[in-house]
């Protein structure tokens, strides 16, 4: 990965252009049709790298996943709406995200990354551009350092008052045990909290797992939202070992669960699923049209402010 010799837009980080890129797996049309107004609430865009270089070296193969390819993916799934999440290699630079939201022409919303140094004007610009939340990641390397480009959970409280002012929620991703240390306090902030990827739970721990119990309780109480991105927790190809988690969370609070594919499936390489298979799986697991509409249409419409 080569580093350009100029400051990146929106910050002082260097700009990194990948030496090679990985073409993400594209779906075919699902066997089961999504309901009208369906939303995939968890995807990422990367590039084009000549316009939007990375702000930090990526720890995974950089995907060739610009907005145009992402929108084709949504169209193939039959999803009329989508939510894009800022990936860590872009740090706090929202240029690629905001450009994709503009290209989406109203059908997309975004989750950006910011630290407490962000100005009110920048937060307003993010909201005006379609951003409805900020992502916080509490994943660390063996030396205890956050992944480059991440903003940790310890910054949520400092940003919370201004996030509420500008209509932004907090999206959280961490290894599962980390939630035991942080969520009880974060849940007191009176700020919507969205948990990524089924809380990164380990299915083999079963329902007695303390993290599972914590997350299900907070969800049942309406204090968190949960993303049902099963491919990050379950075992391919059928993810059946994670079904009890999916079903327990959906039953605990069907008003605050969301579906996401996680395209373009970074770090997964040849093991990446096809998003159409994930649609068909969710259609089966959700079980009835009323719940499907709730999870795919009504809940994201309410959280992300779709018209």
Q: Decide the pairing of beta strands 14-17 and 39-43.
A: unpaired
Whether 262 is catalytic is yes
DSSP the chain: -EEEEEEPTTSSSEEEE-SS-BPPPPP---SSPPPTT-EEEEE--B--TTTS-BSS--SSPPB-B-HHHHHHHHHHHT-SEEEEE--GGGTT--HHHHHHHHHHTTSEEEEE---TT--HHHHHHHHHTTEEEEEEE--B-TTSPBPTT---GGGHHHHHHHHHHTT-EEEEE--HHHHHHHHHHHTTSSS-EEESGGGG--GGG-TT-HHHHHHHHHHHTTS-EEE--GGGTSPTTT-GGGHHHHHHHHHH-GGGEE----TT-TT-GGG---HHHHHHHHHHHH-SHHHHHIIIIIHHHHHHT--
Do residues 17 and 55 lie in contact, with contact meaning Cβ atoms separated by under 8 Å?
A: no
Active-site residue identified among 238, 262, 280, 284 = 262
Edge-to-edge strands of the sheet including 81-85? 39-43, 81-85, 108-112, 131-137, 169-173, 193-195, 225-227, 257-258
The catalytic residue positions are 262
């Amino acid at each position: 990965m080569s580093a350009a010799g100029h400051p990146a837009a929106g910050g002082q980080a260097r700009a990194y252009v990948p030496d090679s890129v990985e073409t993400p797996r594209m779906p075919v049309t699902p066997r089961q049709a999504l309901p009208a107004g369906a939303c995939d609430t968890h995807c990422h865009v990367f590039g084009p790298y000549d316009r939007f270089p990375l702000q930090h070296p990526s720890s995974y193969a950089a995907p060739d996943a610009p907005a145009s390819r992402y929108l084709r993916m949504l169209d193939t799934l039959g999803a009329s709406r989508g939510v894009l999440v800022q990936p860590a290699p872009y740090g706090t630079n929202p240029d690629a995200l905001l450009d994709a939201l503009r290209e989406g022409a109203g059908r997309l919303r975004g989750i950006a990354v910011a630290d407490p140094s962000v100005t009110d004007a920048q937060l307003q610009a993010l909201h005006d551009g379609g951003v409805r939340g900020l992502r916080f990641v509490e994943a660390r390397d063996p030396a205890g350092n956050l992944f480059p480009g991440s903003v940790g959970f310890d910054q949520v409280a400092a940003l919370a008052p201004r996030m509420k002012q500008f209509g932004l929620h907090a999206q959280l991703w961490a290894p599962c045990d980390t939630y035991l240390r942080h969520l009880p306090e974060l849940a007191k902030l009176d700020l919507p909290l969205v948990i990524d990827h089924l809380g990164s739970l380990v299915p083999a721990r079963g329902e007695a797992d303390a993290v599972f119990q914590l997350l299900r309780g907070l969800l049942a109480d309406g204090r968190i939202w949960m993303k049902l991105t099963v491919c990050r927790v379950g075992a391919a190809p059928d993810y059946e070992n994670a079904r009890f988690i999916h079903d327990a969370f959906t039953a605990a609070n069907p008003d605050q669960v969301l579906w996401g594919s996680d395209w373009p499936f970074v770090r997964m390489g040849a093991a990446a699923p096809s998003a159409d298979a994930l649609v068909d799986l969710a259609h089966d697991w959700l079980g009835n049209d009323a719940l499907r509409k709730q999870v795919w249409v009504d809940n994201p419409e309410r959280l992300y402010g779709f018209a």
